[in-house]
Amino acid sequence: MKHIAIMTIGFCIGYIMIFPDDTTQPLQQQLEERDCTIENLKDSLNTIQLKIDSLKYDYVEEKSEILFFWNTLAKIESSGGIHLLGDNGKAKGPLQIHKGLVIDVNKMYNLSYTHDDMFDYTTSQYVGSLYLNMLAKRHYNIYKSLPTKFQLGRMWNGGFGLYNDNATLAYYNKLKSNYNIN
């Protein structure tokens, strides 16, 4: 009896292979489509990985650029941290941050920094970044473009209203000379 069952199964498999019916063709097509989808997925994952690798590089490059930007502003503002008080004690830290800037950032981002916290270089960079982010958003809402680093530098010096004014031109020239741009 086992031999008959095995022969019957073998005959059925052989019959299906030789004379496929309508039910096997869609299954074969599904398998081919699945293989194609898997290959497309592998290609997509490889592409995504390349983009991630590129982003990691860009982030490192961008982070380096941001640090250079802040170091340049600190050099212009306080000669690299030598003079930590400016504007008759109204500006504090290596970036010469005024109390109003700290108040604006605290209000906008629900933070609680003090004016004296601006003596710490990392904290002043962070608060300064939040402030410039506020100004960049404002610039974008008005002009539909993001400001350049030189426009941000001028905003740092004169606020949003004076960044394109002659009042911040000398600051712009100092920033430009530190970036070695003619």
- What angle (nearest 5°) sits at the alpha carbon of residue 78, between those of residues 72 and 84? 135
pLDDT (average), residues 95-104? 95
Return the SS3 of 110.
Answer: coil
Q: Rounded to a whole number, what is the distance in angstroms from the first to the last CA of the chain?
A: 95
**167 pLDDT more than 80:** yes
21-73 pLDDT, tens per residue? 555 566 666 656 555 555 555 555 555 555 555 555 454 556 667 888 888 88
Q: What percent of the chain has pLDDT over 70?
A: 62
Greater model confidence, 78 or 81 = 78
Token code pair at residue 142? 């008005």
DSSP string, 48-76: HHHHHHHHHHHHHHHHHHHHHHHHHHHHH
pTM of structure: 0.63
Contact 104, 131 (CB under 8 A): yes
State residue 158's pLDDT score: 87
Residue partners of 65: CB distance under 8 A and separation at least 6:
149
CA dihedral angle for residue 23, residue 27, residue 29, residue 31, rounded to 10 degrees: -170
**What pLDDT is attached to residue 159?**
82
